[in-house]
Structure formats: C-alpha cells, structure tokens
Structure 1
Amino acid sequence: MTDLIKATVKRGQVREAVEQSLIKRRKRNRRFKMLGLGAVILGMLLLGVMFFSIISKGYSAFVLTDIQLEIYFDPEIVDPEGARNPEVLASAAYGKLVKDALRKEFPGINKRKEKRNLYRLVSTGATQQLRDLVLDDPTIVGTRQKLWLTADDDVDQYYKHGQSQSRLKEQQLGWVAQLRAKDALRTSFNTNFFTAGDSREPELAGIRGAIVGSFFVILITLGLSLPLGVAAAIYLEEFATRNRWTDFVEININNLAAVPSIVFGLLGLAVYINFFELPRSAPLVGGLVLTLMTLPTIIIASRAALKSVPPSIREAALGMGASKMQMVFHHVLPLAMPGMLTGTIIGLAQALGETAPLLMIGMVAFIVDIPSSITDPATVLPVQIYLWADSPERAFMEKTSAAIMVLIAFLILMNLFAIWLRRKFERRW
C-alpha cells in the first residue's frame, strides 16, 4: 500500500513537472513570435520612414515655377537680315529679349547690381525656349507674345517652399511679390526632369541622359551575363564531372558573389581601360564591369533552377532514347528557365543600383549630352544621384530625392516582373 501511494505521488510530480515544462515552452514560443512580429513591424516602420523622407523631399521636383513675361521679338535682334534664315534665327541674342521684358515689367532699375538681381529671376534656359519658338514659327518675329518662361531655381524654391528654402534678396522678394499679385507666377509639370540631360542650373537639370545611359549599360549586361551565366550553370550542373577542379570553380563562383562591387570596378579599370584602352565613362565598359559582378548571381540562381527539376524528367527523357544534350535542352532547360530568368532579373536589378564600380571607370563625369551609342560618354541613374547629392543647392537636393524615387520605381517594377514570371511559369513537383 505504501509503494502504491509513493508511485501515485511520483506520477503526480512527473505530471506537474511536464505541465510546468509545457507552460515554459509555450511562453518561449509566444516570446519568439512576438520578437519576430516586432522585427517585421520595426522593419516596415523604418521602411515607411525612409519612403516618407524621400517622397516629402522629392515630390516638389516634379513641378517647376514659371514666370509670365511679355516678350517683344524685335526684328533688329532676332532677324536683322529679314530673310528668316534658320542659322541667323538660331544664333540671335534671345537673352536680350528676356532682359528687355524684365526691365519693362519693372521700370526704374538703373544700377548694375540691381539689374543683375533682376535678370536672375528668370532661368538661363529661357533663351532656349525663345529660340525654339522662333525656329518652330518664324512668323512671330516682330510680334509681342505673353509667354511662360522658366524661373530661376531660387524663385522656384521660394514659390514652392517659402523663404526658408530660398536665397532671394529683399528687393528680389518684392519683385516676386509683384509678379505673384499679377498672377504672373505658376507651377507646371516639370517635363525637363524627364527630357533633359544634366545641367549646372538646377531648374534645367534632368535625368534623361542618366536613364539612357542606364539602359545601354543594362542592355550590355543582359546580353553578356544571361547567355554566359546560363551556359556555365548548365555545364557545371549537367555535364561537368565531380572532381577537385569543378569544386574549385564552384567555391570561387560562390566567393565572387560576396566580393565588394568596387573590386570589380578596379578590375574593369585595370583590364578594360588601361589594358584594352576602351573609352572611359562609356556604357560599353560599364556593361562589361557589371557583367562580371552579375555573373555569379545568375550562375548560382540558374544552378538552383536546374537542381529543382526532378530527376524523373531526366530519366524519362533518357529512357525514351534522347541523348544527354537533347535531354538537357529539350526537357530540363525549358522547365528551369523561369527560375533562371527570375535570378537574372534580380541580378540586373542589383546591377541597376550599383555606383561604386562605375565611379572607378570614370562614369562620374559631368555629361550634358544624351548618349546615342554604347561608346558615347554617359552616366547612369545611381551616379547621377551621387553627383546631385554632392551639390549644395536646395533644388538639387529635391532632384536627388526625385531621382531616387524614379530608381526605386524601376527596381520595384523589375522585382514585380520577376515575381510574376516565377508565379506564372513555376511548376510544383
């Protein structure tokens, strides 16, 4: 009887210990879940703060301030010969027309310093606007036209953000107030931001040159890295024998994926520019450098896609009499291609945001003209952001944030395209 009581008590103690252990385990699980949820929420909050900061600083770059002036297209200045010769019209002193219009709008300005301050209300790009108007329609020579001309960046910042973001002097503020009272100031969509190249003047600077340069660089990177990466992955996964040499190659491919990107820039500088003497700051060299950087990512992703194809596909193809080459290219490769394309797009998205290797090959140069080929001097969007971020003007600061928004939009679209490809063509075995 005593032994029975002891056994019962012992079983009760064991049960109680097990229950206590389960309670502790559940608490640990709840704490782990709360920590994981907290990490996700914190990450989302930080991401939201980053996006809010970028958007709040950059949205204003998509609008531009214009000033309305009455321009007299004086024939003595625009076309003194009266022959409407396009060469004469293109070389006329249109800046004098703007200055005359400003002096007429604000009479009584005689001092040289006051004149300089007055002329600074209008951007230097206004002369190009007038030149384009005359070349498109020479009949306006000799007429008066009320036109909206691009304002200087200081006026633009004052009109959009107030005195705290402007460097206008007290007299200039008075002139701007008069224009505002006459409804001669407005904001319009900043088409220059998407259609113009870089400029020393913030109100005239755009990202078209950087976008075209990025397009050429990514095009070269895709054209080289995709076939080379897929071919290397097929050889290593399907044809190469397992020995020390292939193990050495695989280890180095994995190591190359973790090498800092600036090392590839140094390699490109030493090989492509110094040895092969390819042009500096050219999309051709940029694409070659980014190809070296992207290849390991594509090879690793392509090998993973090949491994995901079930062995039964290979065995069935070989059992039906297909050669190994036919088995790989007719059966395995089509099934692995969605995963390969996904890895390629992710690798290209990474390359699109790279700056350090391109700085090493000279793509940090100030490029005004839009590149027309892969050998023309060019820059890319991340480098353009880097250049603008180094400029002290407030207008360049907002353009930096706006360019970051455009770059992030491209990256999001590329990643969404990769997700769509994976979901559309992915097969579950």
Structure 2
Amino acid sequence: MTSTKENILIVDDNYDMLALLQRHLKNFNYHTYKASSVHEALEVLKFTPIDLLITDLNMPEINGIELLRYAEEHYPTMPKLVISGMPSIDNAVNAIKSGALDYLTKPFTSSELYNAIQTSLEKTRNIVKTTPSDIIASEHNYAGIVGKSEQFKKLVELINRVKNNKVNVLIEGESGTGKELIAKAIHSKGNRHKMPFISVNCGGIPESLMESELFGYIKGAFTGANESRLGLFQAAAGGTIFLDEIGTAPVSVQTRLLRVLQEKEITRIGAVHSEKLDVRIISATNSNLYQMVLNGTFREDLYYRINVVNIKTTPLRERREDILPLVENFLQKYGNEYGKPDIKIDTKVLEILLRYNWPGNIRELENIIQRMIIMSDERITIENIPDELKYHIPDPNTIFKSLKEYEKDHILKILAAVDNNKSKAAKILQIDRKTLNQKIS
C-alpha cells in the first residue's frame, strides 16, 4: 500500500484512537496531523494544506458534525471521512449531508480504512490546492506575520535561522504581540512542518491536571484513570510543542520539564519505563522569567534550558510602520469574512490608528478592525472609531499645578461668583481688600 504523501488530518478526542490511526496512516505512507478537539483541528486547517479530513463524530464541546459543516463551507474541495464508535442511521445521514464522502464504523480493519481513504481522495486528487500562504498575497506577510518595519525584517531573519534546528526557543513579550504566531511560523517554515504543532496554554490548565495533560498516564495511575492516555508531549512527537505562559507552570511541572529536556525522554504518570521523545520545544511568556529566577519562583536550570535562542517581540507602539500593513491585512481578512470584501477606510481613521498607543498590541488592533467593519457599511469613517481611540481633553483633576496656580484659579472663581465685587470676594477668601488687590495685580 503506497500513496503520494498526501496530508491527512485525524480528529478524535481518544488519544489511543489517534495513535492507532496514525500508525495505520504511517504504514500507508501518508503524512498525518492529529487533533484531539475541533478547536485544535481548526488551528491545523488554518495554517496547513490538508488533503483529507478524518473525524470522529462524538466529541465534547463541539462535535464532528459541526467540524464537517465548517470544513464544507471553508474548504469545499477537501474530502471528509467520518469514523464513529456509535453508529446510527441518523448520524450517517447527517454526516453525508454535512459533506462527508464516507462513513466508517469502529472497529474497522486496516484494509477498510485504506479503501475508504483511497475512495475519498480519488474524487479530489486532481484539484489544485491553495496553501495558506497564497490566501493573502502580500510582500509584507511571512507565514501570517505581517509588517514592514526593521523589527519585522529582523524577526523573519531570526525565524529563518532557527526553523530547521531542534534548538529550544523562548519567545518573550507583551500580550498581544503575536508570540504564538511566531512559534507557528518557526514550525510551518521548518523541516518539521509535516509533523504536529501542539499549542499548550500553561496558564489555562488547572495545576492538578497539568502533569497528566502534558505527560500522559497509564491505567490505574490515580483515581479516575480508567484507561491509559497519551499526553500532549507524545501528541507532538516528531513536531513542535508550544508552551505558552511557561512562567505559570508549577514547580512540580518545571522539574519534569527539565528532565524531558535533559534526557530527551518522558515517563507517563504511573509508568515504570520511560519513552524516548523527539520534539522541538518553543516556550513563551509575557512575564520577566529572569526576575522570577532571581525571586526563586522559576527554576534557574530550566530557564537556561528553554532559553537557548531568545526572541523578544516588539510592542506595536514601537513599530508603527507595521500598523498600516496590519490594517490592510485585517481589512482583507474580515472584509471577506463579514461579506464586505471591497470595504474602504478613510484617511482620518488611519491617522487615528497611527496615533493610538495600542496597549493591547496587535490583538487589540485586530479586534478594533473587526468591530469597525461590522459597524460600518461600504466605508469605515471616523464615526466608526471606538471612543477610547479618539482624542480626549485631559481631566483638570489629573493635572498637577503649583500652589500659586491653584490660588489664582480659586480667586478668579470667587470673583466671578460675586460679580467681581472685591469686598465680597475678600470676605469669602478671609483676606483684606488690600491683599486681594495685590494678588489680582
């Protein structure tokens, strides 16, 4: 059984099933991408050309039918194959209506899987695919990172230097500066781009679950471990794992991460034997990790392990040359998404966008552009600009003045209140008229 190395995305919330499917597909000589949820699958589809989608139906939060419907509208030429452990006529009908070309019931044989894949691919094998980088053609776009500043050019140069190395990378910078996008660019432009990219938000996983999520566990390792499960590190095998907000990782997890980096192997919770691991680790933080090391809240040895190559992102307020290319990019992206592909923007609006300081960085700019497109018709005008971006007269109460200036303001207010009657003003101010005249003059 051979193939022409098509890219196949498999989606299932059961890690053991993902591993089984990956083994089959590897034997068939396909490139495989794995996702354990619909959200993960959408991230893969966004940045990777996929030739075939294989998805389970019953998954938590968002099910496979929803994924099929999304893929049918956004990737209409991509064939879709459904596998399900809970077969029913309704499920099969819904799957076919949602765009699936075939429906496999678990358990299935290797031959059944291969034949279903071949049948699905055959219908679209001769269609020319559009890669993600072709969607937005721009000389200022590098793997989804947009800009034209010197900082942008230096960032691209640095990514090109590390993309084909397994070196550990630490990306530091403020929230909203595109740290995850940089990590994805390193992965997608490098020689591991055919392998998985797994993004982990360390701050979003409860501390009690973090070790089991990252490193996996075996059946019976703890109460509730009714079956063995692979961790996110194993899911990223051969590819890249992105540890976002690494500074939030508890000390126990830091210790295990250090062992992974040192020994190039991983031990599932409850397991006796370790497993060799080939994975590139990219970490990111908006905290000052070095200061955390000095404070004793982050392991010094781990810090130097993950920080072999350091990439510091530049806040948007310090690279204003990138604002206009970013605006153009977001106008095209969300103009198409919201049914306004020819939307224009007034020069005055651009001036305000260039003037604003962008404390939320690129993420804030993206949100603002989305909002303005929604709130406008064919043209974005100054009326569509959110109030917080417009110029504001400073609050007098926030302006610091000298005591003499405060005294002058107070005397003028009293004189105005008494219709410039100096005798009344002097009485209210509790000074004599001669002193008041001196102050006025």
TM-score bracket relative to the smaller structure = under 0.3
TM-score (norm 1): 0.18
More strand by share: 2
More helix by share: 1
Flag the structure with more relative contact order, 1 or 2, with Cα contacts below 8 A and sequence separation at least 6.
1
TM-score (norm 2): 0.18
